[in-house]
């Protein structure tokens, strides 16, 4: 399965939910939605900087990841995000070998 780095900003209502103790509801929704699209959130963090939320997500394919991010954004917890496809060292080595063979 493919892995992705998902960085997003939390909405003011999501911050309010966290401050008032509803953080479990946000995280449970995040995990349940990932499973619905065939994936899993491997790790996640709240961060202070350009993005408030950072996660490494494993999904079957790009379409599943796009659907997951769209579904999570539509729920109103996240906004303004960025998704980056992550390559394993094996995938990177294979890509380099393939690139070298195309003179």
| Number of domain units in the chain | 1
pLDDT tens digits along 9-63? 888 887 787 787 766 666 677 888 999 999 999 999 888 888 988 999 999 999 9
Per the structure, the complete domain to which residue 55 belongs is given by: 2-100
Q: Nearest CA to 64 among 75, 72, 53, 52?
A: 72
Which of helix, strand or coil describes residue 87? Answer: coil
Distances from the Cα of 12 to the Cαs of 29, 45, 79, in angstroms?
A: 17, 17, 10
pLDDT tens digits along 51-94? 988 999 999 999 999 999 999 888 888 887 899 999 999 999 99
pTM listed for this prediction: 0.82
CATH number of the structural domain spanning residue 53: 3.30.70.920
């Amino acid at each position: 399965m493919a892995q992705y780095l998902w960085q997003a900003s939390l909405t003011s209502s999501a911050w309010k939910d966290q401050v008032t103790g509803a953080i479990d509801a946000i995280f449970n929704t995040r995990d349940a939605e990932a499973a619905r699209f065939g994936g899993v959130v491997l790790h996640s963090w709240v961060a202070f900087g350009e993005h408030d939320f950072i996660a490494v997500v494993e999904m079957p394919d790009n379409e599943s990841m796009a659907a997951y991010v769209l579904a999570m954004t539509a729920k109103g917890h996240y906004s303004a995000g960025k998704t980056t496809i992550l390559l394993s060292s094996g995938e990177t080595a294979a890509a380099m070998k393939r690139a070298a063979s195309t003179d």
